[in-house]
Structure formats: structure tokens, C-alpha cells
Structure 1
Amino acid sequence: MSSKKILIITGDAGESFEVLYAKQRMIEAGHLPVIAAPAVKRMNLVIHDFEPGWDTYKESPGYQVMSDVDFDHVASQDYDAVICIGGRAPEYLRNDARVIRLVQEFNVQGKYIFAICHGIQILVTAGLVENKNITCYEHVKFEVTSCGGTYIKDQEAVQDGKIITGQTWQSHPEFYRLVMQSLA
């Protein structure tokens, strides 16, 4: 397997476990992960957990992780694939024209696009879910179906062409199994 350069898109309020697992899993597999954010800085990540009795996830402060590059200094042609991380970061990153342009460029270039949890919100805004089978955090389902995607509830991870999606950090085993197969 040849080494690949993987762009990881996140920002403040990105899901800690998803960011750290993506970075470490890529390194473990011999790939070069590069974390891109709105600015090069120590990001404040969050931890989302599912507690009995809660109607949704609960949020706690997470780890601080340094980004490697800002969106202005990312060229899609320099990367082999992109991962859109979940957490709350996609709520504002999907409004960042630089992020949407990058993800659309990966699509046009026929490269793999991976998204997990709320990271799918970026794919929705980029116009990449229409006529696609997509899984995601259940509260993002409406956005997927409203934009012409088919929500797959009963699978932790789904591949449709070069787009691979996962539900939550609890889906890491299934999600990264598909991700690693695609990078082989």
C-alpha cells in the first residue's frame, strides 16, 4: 500500500474522538494526515456522549489539538482524500465557501470523500448527497433527505461510490474498515 496524504477538515467544537482517531488511524496505516481548520491554532474540541435519559447527546470540553494548515492554504490536488469530521464544527464550516469549494473539488477530481456524524452537513451544503445512500447522525437525516439523499438508518457506515459516511464515533470500526479498504 502506498502512503496517501489525507486532509482532515474540522475546527473549534469538532468532535475530539473523531479528530484524534482519524489522525492516529491514518498515521498507523502509514498515511500522512493533515488537519485543516479556519486558522492555524490550537483548536478547542468537544466530547459528545450518549447518556441514558438524554434525548440527544451531551457535550463536554474535549482535547485541544493543533491544526496544521488553514483553509486558504489547502489545494485539493495535493491530497488523496478528505475526511469531514463531526461535532458542532460542521454547523459553521458548511457556511465557509473555502470548505465547500474544497469538498466539491475532491468530488470533481474523483477522490474519496469521507464524512462522519455531523460532517455530513458539509456534504449536504456541497450538493453531494443527491441520489446517494448516506448514513449520518440521526438528527442530520432531515437535511440528507431534503437534499435528495437516501438515509440509511440500519448501517453504521455506508459507501456509495467514492463517498463513505458513518453515523457517529461509535461507528468507527465499520467506518474506518471502509475507509482503509478504499485507501488500499
Structure 2
Amino acid sequence: MANILIIAGDYVEDYELMVPFQALQMVGHSVSVVCPDKASGDSVRTAIHDFEGDQTYSEKPGHNFVLNADFASINEQEFDALLLPGGRAPEYLRLNSRVLELVKHFAAASKPIAAVCHGAQLLTAADVIRERKISAYPACAPEVTMAGGIYADIAVDQAVTDGNIVTAPAWPAHPQWLAQFNALLK
């Protein structure tokens, strides 16, 4: 089974962190969740993004998620795959040079990478999606295109795999997104 790294931050999307964390463990994978400037036992706040007919998602308070690994001591060589949840966290996590180094490592090594919703902002900032078919929350489409990716405009409950990268527009795609990611982990 795979050893998976998840990079999170305050106001990560609740479902996009909680569901993969639990589901991937349920099928036998080891999952470590880290956040810059935080240690194992610290928590990150989550936000619940919902689709209620407005021009964009609504945002509600989520849960406090307890991290189970230390960001400062992460050795990317020990991990087989990377998962990048969305929410508001990616907009500032992409400013962290170590986060970008981690993303670049997984891309350069062709290790499986799963990104959902705004998680694609970390892929674009790391410059690892040129000529790759990438989905994301539609508001991130310009970033995908400007980073040289091919934006996959798919239904909110669908996912797309291009080589080692699996992406989806938002949490309603979990069944497709996690199934495609899990297939790469075999």
C-alpha cells in the first residue's frame, strides 16, 4: 500500500481533507497530513464550501482537523504520492517555497498527484502542468491556462487523469477522483 502525503492549511475545504484522509486509510494506505509552521497534534481550521445556487460556492465553518505529521521534518523521498485539497488554503500555501519544492518533487518523480478544486493552484504555482489536462474549480481555469495546462471543463462530479496527475473541480467528484487516484497507487 502507498504512503501518501497531504498538504493542508487553515481554511482547507473540510470534505476535501476529511474524506480523502479517511477513505484512503480505509483501503489500506498510510496518510500523513502536514501544514507549514505546524506540528503533529496541532490543528487546522476547515471550511465547508457548498453549492447552493449562488454565483459561487458558499462558505461555512467546518471542523478543526488534527495534523498527524510535522511539516518541518517531512522527507518527500518517504512518500509514494501527494494529495492537494482545495479551499482557501492553496491561495497562500503556494507562497511557501518548501510547499512548491514538495509539489515539484512529486511531479519530477512522476509519483501520483491528486488535486481537487483550488488545490490546482499549487500545481500552477509549482509550474508542473504544462500541456497536461487539468481540472479545478472553474474560477481557477485562467490560472491553469496561464500555467500552460489544458483546462478540463468537466462536470462537478467528474475527474480527469493525465499521466500521474488526477484532478477534479470540487468535492462532489470524490467517488471518481479518489477511484482514479487509488488506481494510480496500485
User: What TM-score, normalized to structure 1?
Assistant: 0.95
What are the equivalent positions in structure 2 for 1:162-173 lying under 5 Å apart?
A: 162-173=164-175
Partner in structure 1 of residue 132 of structure 2: 132
Cα offsets for 1:79-102 (capped at 9, x unmatched):
010001100000000111110000
What are the equivalent positions in structure 2 for 1:40-59 lying under 5 Å apart?
A: 40=39, 41-52=42-53, 54-59=54-59
Q: CA deviation at 1:110?
A: 2.1
Instruction: State how far apart, in whole Å, the 2-side matches of 1:6 and 1:141 are.
Output: 26
Over 4 Å off, 4+ runs: none
Partner in structure 1 of residue 159 of structure 2: 157
Q: 1:4 aligns with which of 2, 6, 9?
A: 2
Instruction: State how far apart, in whole Å, the 2-side matches of 1:146 and 1:105 are.
Output: 21
1:113 and 2:79 correspond? no
Cα offsets for 1:64-86 (capped at 9, x unmatched):
11112233211110101000110
Q: CA deviation at 1:115?
A: 0.5
Q: 1:21 aligns with which of 19, 22, 40?
A: 19
Q: CA deviation at 1:154?
A: 2.4
8 Å CA contact retained: 1:117, 1:136: yes
Equivalent position SS for 1:154: coil
Name the amino acid aligned to 1:37.
Answer: C
Q: CA RMSD in A?
A: 1.0
Cα offsets for 1:94-152 (capped at 9, x unmatched):
11111000010111222111100000000000001111101110000000011111111
Cα offsets for 1:9-43 (capped at 9, x unmatched):
11100011111111111111101110011112111
Identical pairs, percent: 38
| Structure 1 portions without partners, runs of 5+ | none
Partner in structure 1 of residue 86 of structure 2: 86
Q: How many aligned residue pairs are there?
A: 181
